[in-house]
């Protein structure tokens, strides 16, 4: 069983780095190719391309110029410890035991606009490149054309190593769209988290993101490799809703007091 997540825009390089537990990104060469494309953009051009502020554009302009072909402990940090968005706040990977980190390394994959696919312990350098950005490259007009075949082929190779050939989708649509689902060699189960408000169930993005992190933590802590066990997830009021679920979508719901 493999779990896929989205990355986070917010990065933190101030936390401790695990000196003995790290791997090099699988697609480091491709990441370097994309950075070379980005290095051609001035700060104002980056601001337009990425729809970010002038200050962020200046920051990422400097990051692009500083990017190195090889990721090391001197210029990088493990992905699962670096990402600091809502998903990763829910995951709290810095509290994982070594066994939990190793399970995550074998079962969790983070989709990335720059790196394609990351394992949790892959070293990443400071960067910003969302999958939906229309960066022209050697493969086409955007990052989907650059990554789709590479990501799909890699995930097919990975899923064939697992007894349970199931992909659990905890990623956003922006990132999950980088997978050619028709060519994927296993079964895909989408996960939804919904809040019951005003008489109906709705997805509230900020809570759904946190819940994805909570579920990722649950999977690592309990070494979940069975979709039936996944249904036992009950964190912060969520529980499996059989009525709303289907064979290809597991829905977890909770009631929220207004």
**What CA dihedral angle connects 97, 103, 107 and 108, to 10 degrees?**
10
Take residue 110 and report the two structure tokens written for it. Answer: 């983070």
Q: What is the DSSP letter of 16?
A: P
Q: Quote the pLDDT of residue 106.
A: 96
| Cα–Cα distance for residue pair 44/52, rounded to 1 Å | 10
pTM for this model (two decimals): 0.95
Q: Cα 72 to chain center, whole Å?
A: 21
Take residue 172 and report the two structure tokens written for it. Answer: 């956003």
SS3 126: coil
In the chain, where are the structural domains located? 2-255
Q: Cα 221 to chain center, whole Å?
A: 18
DSSP string, 56-94: HHHHHHHHHHH--SS--TTT-EEHHHHB-SHHHHHH-GG
The helix (H) or strand (E) run that includes residue 37 is helix 28-38
β-pairing verdict for 187-197 and 239-240: unpaired
The helix (H) or strand (E) run that includes residue 230 is helix 227-230
**What CA dihedral angle connects 199, 203, 205 and 209, to 10 degrees?**
120
Query: Tens-digit pLDDT profile for the chain (258 aa)?
Result: 999 999 999 999 987 777 789 999 999 999 999 999 999 999 999 999 999 999 999 999 999 999 999 999 999 999 999 999 999 999 999 999 999 999 999 999 999 999 999 999 999 999 999 999 999 999 999 999 999 999 999 999 999 999 999 999 999 999 999 999 999 999 999 999 999 988 899 999 999 999 999 999 999 999 999 999 999 999 999 999 999 999 999 999 998 765
Q: Quote the pLDDT of residue 194.
A: 97
């Amino acid at each position: 069983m493999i779990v896929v997540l989205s990355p986070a825009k917010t990065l933190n390089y101030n936390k401790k780095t695990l000196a003995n537990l790290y791997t090099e990104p699988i697609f480091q060469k491709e990441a370097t190719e994309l950075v070379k494309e980005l290095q051609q953009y001035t700060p104002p051009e980056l601001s337009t391309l990425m729809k970010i502020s002038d200050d962020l554009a200046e920051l990422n302009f400097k990051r692009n110029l500083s990017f190195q072909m090889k990721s090391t402990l001197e210029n990088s940090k493990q992905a699962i410890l670096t990402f600091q968005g809502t998903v990763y706040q829910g995951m709290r990977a810095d509290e994982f035991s070594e066994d939990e980190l190793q399970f995550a390394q074998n079962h969790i994959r983070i989709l990335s606009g720059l790196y394609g696919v990351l394992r949790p312990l892959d070293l990443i350098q400071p960067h910003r490149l969302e999958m939906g950005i229309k960066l022209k490259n050697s493969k086409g007009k955007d990052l989907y054309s650059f990554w789709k075949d590479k990501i799909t082929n890699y995930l097919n190779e990975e899923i064939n190593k697992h007894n349970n050939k199931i992909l659990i989708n905890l990623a956003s649509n922006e990132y999950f769209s980088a997978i050619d689902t028709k060519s994927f060699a296993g079964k895909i189960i989408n996960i939804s988290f919904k809040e019951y408000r005003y008489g109906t169930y709705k997805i509230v993005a900020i809570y759904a993101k946190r819940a994805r992190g909570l579920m990722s933590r649950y999977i690592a802590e309990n070494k979940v490799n069975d979709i039936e066990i996944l249904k036992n997830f009950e964190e912060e009021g969520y529980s499996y809703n059989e009525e709303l679920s289907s064979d290809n979508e597991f829905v977890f719901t909770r009631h929220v007091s207004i």
